[in-house]
Amino acid sequence: MGESNICSVSPAAEAVGREVENRPSMDEEKRSINRPSTSYSSSSTTDAHTDSMPYYAPVIGRNQTNNTSNSIRATASRRSSLSRTRSQNGFGVEDLETGSTGEDASAEDAAQRMASKDLYEVRWENGDKDPMNPRSMSTARKWIITGIVSFGSLSVTCASSIYVSTYTQMEAEFGNERMMSTLGLSFFVLGIAFGPAFLGPLSEFYGRRPIYIASFALFVIWLIPEAVAKNIRTIIAGRMFDGLAGSAFLSVSGGTVGDMFTQEKLAAPMMLFSLAPFLGPSIGPLIGGFINSNVYWRWTYYVLLIWAALLLVAIFFFVPETYHPVVLMNKARAFRKSTGDSRWKAPMEKTNKSIVRTIGRSLLRPIQMLVFESMVLLLCIYTAVLLGILYLFFGAFPLVFRTNHGFTLWQVGLTFLGIFVGMILGAATDPIWGRIRNQLIAKKEAETGEVGSEPEFRLPVAIAGGFLVPVGVFWFAWTTMPEVHWIVPIIGSAFFGAGTLLVFTGVFTFLVDAYPLYAASALSANALVRCSFAAIFPLFGEQMYKRLGYQWATSVLGFLTLVMMPFPYIFFRYGKKIRGRTDNPRAARHEQVLRLEQDVGSDAAAAAQSNLCFSWF
């Protein structure tokens, strides 16, 4: 699983490196204090200070020493590309320094800003070893927090699909048609689609913890009207707002893991976190099937209420603020209070960020990516079709297995274990794709002498997944017959689950690597299109299966995946040429700036990590 973010998510982290700075000579180090990166999420850097000078005393920046003007300009060029840093929630890009001219700031402007930078700027003391730095927490505490946010993400995604198990009893009580019931599923997914664009950027201003508490509290509150609803309209409205509330949690939770772990130690916790939203939709019908087979359908919501309420308590007591800019701001406040000197400020306090502007950018830029970047558009459509098929299966599986094999509701829930197991097996292949990527890098270095990876090296996993998906769909299509044992189509669904996860993994990591400056926007565009398809497909799925028959209805889906199967391979072969002819002029200019850096992946990693959960939807 590559970046995925997960994308294998470990790859997401691995896909990016950290910024390399020019170190001063030993003599210079004795005369000056090293300043950390201008990015206020660069907690990986360390601050050096002399014994004769307190940490918070004014220090002379490294570029204020007797460096040559050329050196300053070169360093400024590297900084200018990072002068606008993507926060780890992946939404919005704002100036970090007062007086920044934005994305088009020149190297000379950056050099002037560096030279005149406020010397009373609060930074981490000794980098990750600072007691207030989230990365200085004990390993046990980090894993507890990771477990809580992972389980929270699982509960939100599980809530999307557990609802389908209530259809029969709910329709008997309310007297509504199946189409109205399906709208509850569609509106929940639409809430997840559009919520992050409005709610996600708020963490840039208030931090992650307030978003966690507020969003999960609202998630719990909106479960109440669903549990006591007197009609289907209340259910649909409640689920839409529940999706909106849950989306805010999903949009920022991935960043928490990146806040606490360095890239070297990020793989395992990110693997755990990233699997949660992937598995949630698969286990929802399983849990719901057992509940609705044994007790009243409203107990589905009672169980979700208990689950979510316990998680809300755990979040309140055990999940601290981890967003580095906000933690630094709290540190600056404490220092101003203890010293009485109001000049000490964190980088975040010196910006003029606009909530409206940030939200506007998070809405507009993904649309621009879809319009101007052909690779983004086609890969978005591909992954959208796959997620749409998965959500269509929530209606198709009960129809197929009840009719052909006489399954009860709880037995139908068990049929989704095929997709569940397939995704687990797909995730387990991550080391294989890591080795293949390393081989491609070595081959490139041997043939061209150029060092480094290419974004296209992330796509072999998607190529393999693209092959498995139609195999699984057609397997399921032509084994869904009464005379064929029920385990056979379930095995086919496992191939679909594994292939879907592999395609998502490859696409996510490719988008992050191919568009490092706009990684969050590319992933947001991808998620928006996917959610729209996931909301629409269930609305016509059952009717299609009844009219075309189980075999041909599923085959239509298989042909769709077959048509799109070549996309990853085409971009693997020709993606570099296509990127060279980008239709987005601004992106092209920034790509030139980014080439001046040893590694520009830190921002991409932040975007990938934060969008991990959100990206599944």
Tens-place pLDDT, residues 482-516: 999 999 999 999 999 999 999 998 998 888 788 87
Tens-place pLDDT, residues 531-581: 899 999 999 998 999 999 999 999 999 999 999 999 999 999 988 888 877
Alpha helices in 32-177 (DSSP H): 69-80, 107-115, 139-162, 167-174
Q: Which residues pair with 121 in a beta bridge?
A: 345
Domain extents in the chain: 35-129, 134-325+378-616
Distance from C-alpha of 469 to C-alpha of 501, rounded to nearest angstrom: 10
Would the pTM of this model clear 0.75, i.e. be above it? Answer: no
CATH homologous superfamily for the domain 134-325+378-616: MFS general substrate transporter like domains (1.20.1250.20)
pLDDT score recorded for residue 118: 63
Tens-place pLDDT, residues 437-451: 989 999 988 888 888
Distance from C-alpha of 551 to C-alpha of 146, rounded to nearest angstrom: 42
Tens-place pLDDT, residues 338-367: 888 888 888 887 877 778 888 888 888 888
Q: Say if residue 100's pLDDT is above 60.
A: no
Distance from C-alpha of 66 to C-alpha of 508, rounded to nearest angstrom: 44
Alpha-carbon Rg for the chain in angstroms? 25
Largest Cα separation within the chain, whole Å, is 84
Tens-place pLDDT, residues 248-296: 778 787 778 888 988 778 777 877 887 888 888 989 999 999 999 999 9
Q: Which two tokens stand for residue 12?
A: 């997401």
pLDDT score recorded for residue 63: 37
Q: Which two tokens stand for residue 218?
A: 């609202």
Q: Sign of torsion, CA 466 462 247 290?
A: positive
